[in-house]
Chains A and B, each alone.
Chain A
Amino acid sequence: AQSVSQHNHHVILSEAASLELGCNYSYGGTVNLFWYVQYPGQHLQLLLKYFSGDPLVKGIKGFEAEFIKSKFSFNLRKPSVQWSDTAEYFCAVNAGGFKTIFGAGTRLFVKA
């Protein structure tokens, strides 16, 4: 069965620090990969997605993620975080079809 693992449940950073959130999935075939974000009091929203092509994808608000097929990973990065990036981040995988599998999420707190 497909699964998604997010390595850190809680991350605390100071403003301007660099961010990398890990995501690994278990599925051997072609996958579509997503990062969703939930800001405090708001709905889940799409941050970025990978379907094919360049494995380095750029999303909103300066976020990017790199798909490394050999490592089954899709890590999220941002060079310099802001206080407004405080949120919960979810990695998700779809192997085609209706079902998208989400990781458990990583809560990021950015200290001003």
Chain B
Amino acid sequence: DTGVSQDPRHKITKRGQNVTFRCDPISEHNRLYWYRQTLGQGPEFLTYFQNEAQLEKSRLLSDRFSAERPKGSFSTLEIQRTEQGDSAMYLCASSSGLAVMISYNEQFFGPGTRLTVL
């Protein structure tokens, strides 16, 4: 399977614990996005990487959230001191950089990591 993969698929944690999610984009894609999706809502943009540079970060991403993309390949999203309100599906997407206009590039989504904070 050469699509976007995410690990783990499910994570249950206790409030206050730290969690880390991983995303492996399609190998030739240099653009990577993280989204959060809660029940009954569409995906909400969290952050964007072009290669290893984090170029955009939503105000939804509090100081407890950090994302990295070392070497411009896989990316990690860490949530520190989790709260019950962090329970959601965390989606990763990637796109190529072929089109000049970033929004012209189709985003390919992974299966998501479902986080439950008890």
Question: Interface of A with B (CB < 8 Å)?
Answer: 4, 9, 32, 36, 43-46, 49, 51, 90, 92, 94, 96-105
Contact = CB atoms under 8 A, between A and B. Distances in A.
Contact of B103 (A32, A46, A102, A105): A32
A2 to B, nearest CB: 11
A43 B101 contact: no
Interface of B: 3-4, 33, 35, 40-45, 48, 55-56, 58, 91, 93, 101-104, 106-112
Nearest to B110: A43
Q: Chain A contact residues: over half helix, strand or loop, or mixed?
A: strand
Contacts of A51: 101, 104
Residue with the greatest number of chain A CB neighbours at <10 A, chosen from B41, B55, B101, B107 = B107
Contact of B45 (A44, A49, A96, A99): A99
Contacts of A105: 40-42
